[in-house]
Amino acid sequence: MVVLMVLVLLLSITKGSDPTSGAIPCIAGTFKAGNRAFVICNFTTESDSGEIFVVHYQKGAPHTDRGDQVLVCFTKKNGEKTCKSERGYQCNNPQAVPLILEISEVDTRFAGDYSCFHNNSAAIGTISSKCSLQVEGKHHF
C-alpha cells in the first residue's frame, strides 16, 4: 500500500536535475492527503564510502523561531527505516540511499528551493541538484 502511494506521488512531483552537471536527482512534492510535503534526494554512491549526504533548505534562514521541525528519513541496507527530527532542514547521513525530508505541517513558509549535495560533489557546499516545492492555498498566520 505504501509503495503504491509513493509511486502515485512520484507521478505528480517536480523533478530537478541537470544531467550535464553530474547533479544528484532531487524531487519535491506534496502528499495528496493531509498537510505533508517531501523532498527526496537520490544519492547513488556506495554507502561504505564514508561520505556525508545532506538535504538542505536553501531559502533564507532556518525557521527555528517558532520551533518548526521536519522529519528526515532514510533506509539502511538491511531495510531498517530511520527517521530523525531536525531543526534547520539539514541532516547528515552516511547512507547512500534515497534521503527523504518530510515536512509534516505544510504552509507557504516551506515553499522554495531545496537542494541535495554530498562531500564528494565537484563543488563542496554548493547546490548539486535543486528542486522547487510549490505550496498553494496553505497560509500560516
Report which of residues 54 and 79 the model is more confident about. 79
Q: What is the mean pLDDT of residues 17-35?
A: 57
33 contact partners, CB below 8 Å, separation of at least 6: none
Q: What is the DSSP letter of 24?
A: P
Please tell me the predicted confidence (pLDDT) of residue 22: 44
pLDDT tens digits for range 97-123? 666 666 666 666 667 767 666 555 444
Phi-psi region of 21 (alpha: psi -120 to 50; beta: other; left: phi over 0): alpha
Rounded Cα distance between 126 and 106, Å, is 26
Percent pLDDT > 90 in the chain is: 0
| pTM, two decimal places | 0.49
Please tell me the predicted confidence (pLDDT) of residue 124: 42
Rounded Cα distance between 110 and 31, Å, is 14
Residue pair 28/133 in contact (Cβ under 8 Å)? The answer is yes
Residue spans per domain, the chain: 2-133
All cell numbers assigned to 108: 507557504
